[in-house]
Amino acid sequence: MKTRQWLISNWLVVIIAALFLGLAVYDAAGAGRALVIGAQTMFGIAVILLTVFIFMGLFNVWVKEESIARHLGEESGLKGLLYGTLIGTIFHGPQVSIFPFLRSMQDKGARRGVLVAIVSAFSIKIPMIPLELALMGAKFTVVHNALLFLTAPILAVIMDALLLDR
């Protein structure tokens, strides 16, 4: 019974394993290459996730709930949205790192609008601005990043209004 339950709850893993076995029968060399590439990718993601989990642990220990609730919570108003936009602009890392961070912020009392501002402004990559300047020009870079920065709090207000029921 436990095996059947595991197979049902992990149906995607079962399908991928079946496809991989089919590939192995059809093209053993290709399956071997796929296995190596998959293992390398999984290792790379595991390293990133380990780093994210360590950061999240430190964040949860060092940052107090009262501080998050006061500056980014329900009563923070526009100031909280601005802080969220700034946090999103400064926060750097892979896409996979932002959602555990947002969940941790929510658990500590940040309102959803602030979380939307963070994830929206996360599109601004400060280390990439010199490359964007070189490839796309100053006008494009300034307008692009200004629009991202300005729309983050607007999206946050809209999301707050849409999610009143929480």
The CA R_g of the chain, rounded to the nearest whole Å, is 21
Domain spans of the chain, in order of start:
1-62, 65-166
Residue 115, both tokens: 């979380």
Q: What does the pLDDT profile of the chain (166 residues) look like in tens digits?
A: 688 898 889 999 999 999 989 988 989 898 899 889 989 998 988 888 888 788 888 888 888 888 888 888 888 888 999 999 999 998 887 777 888 889 988 998 999 999 999 999 998 988 889 999 999 999 999 999 999 999 999 999 998 888 876 5
CA distance 39 to 42: 5
Question: pTM above the 0.85 mark?
Answer: no
